[in-house]
Structure 1
Amino acid sequence: MQIPAEAVASTVLIEVVRISALPIRQGAPYPGRAVAHWSGNEAADALTLIGTLPSGEQHRCGFSPGWSIRAYEGSLQLALFEAAFCFNCHEIRMHGTAVTLALATQFFDADTPPAQALLALFRAATH
């Protein structure tokens, strides 16, 4: 997966969200409950893992993401980006101040070890 490099360098906090619905409008935050906040090495390691997600083919499910991350810089005002992950259709949708149109929709192979490790991190965040 491609993440805006300047956003990775500026991220100080990641909020992990268990998505409960799709946003009411494009570019709005995904509704859901924040289940974890990662900072320091934990945030850096998560971004590194996400950056290693291999590209994949689109599957058809209608995009029903279960998880998102919101990356914040030091002021914690607006998210640099939010990335929503659908492990069914293997799609990632991203929006935010650091996201270009070319990066807004990406596909990953959800059956690979990096994707399964990310899913395990998300699941562990709810406990």
Structure 2
Amino acid sequence: MQLPAEVVTGTALIEVVRISALPAEDGAPYPGRPVAHWWGDEVAEALGLIGALPGSGQHRCGFAPGWSVRAYDDSLEPVLMEAAFCFGCHEVRLHGPAVPPALARQFFDADAPQAAALLARFRAAGVTDRRG
């Protein structure tokens, strides 16, 4: 999948969120509990995995994302990008000031090794709930 260049070059911290509901309006943060903060090499590894997700066609599940990542620069405010992942319909929705409209909705192969590795990282972030 394609990530905004500003996110790839400017992210200093990633917050992993276990999503609990859909946002009340477009562009609002996904509600949920932050379960991890990644910095340094973890940021590069996570963005590398996300950027390497192969594309896929659209699947239908109603978009029920379980996880999101919020990317921050050194100032930690505002969020550069939030990406919400639905491993059921293979969709990721991105929003934030660094996200151009063309990248706001993408589809990824949820069966690819990169997707399995990303989901494993999410699950290892200290959450006992294993919904994908």
Shorter-normalised TM range: over 0.9
Q: How many residues align?
A: 127
2:87 is aligned to 87
2:33 is aligned to 33
Q: Does 1:111 align with 2:111?
A: yes
Letter in 1 for 2:118: L
1:12 is aligned to 12
2:121 is aligned to 121
- What CA distance in whole angstroms lies between the structure 2 residues aligned with 1:76 and 1:123? 24
Identity among equivalent positions (%) equals 69
> SS in structure 1 opposite 2:3?
coil
**1:59-114 CA distances to partner (integer Å, 9 max, x unpaired)?**
10000000000000011011100000000000000000100110000000000100
Q: Which runs of 5+ in 2 are unaligned?
A: 128-132
Letter in 1 for 2:22: L
Q: Does 1:64 align with 2:71?
A: no
**Deviation (angstroms), 1:5:** 1.1
**Deviation (angstroms), 1:8:** 1.1
Q: Which runs of 5+ in 1 are unaligned?
A: none
- What CA distance in whole angstroms lies between the structure 1 residues aligned with 2:42 and 2:16? 12
Letter in 2 for 1:32: G
> SS in structure 2 opposite 1:94?
strand
Normalising by structure 1, report the TM-score.
0.98
CA-atom RMSD, angstroms? 0.6
> SS in structure 1 opposite 2:43?
helix
- What CA distance in whole angstroms lies between the structure 1 residues aligned with 2:58 and 2:3? 19
Structure 1 stretches of 4+ with a deviation exceeding 4 A read none
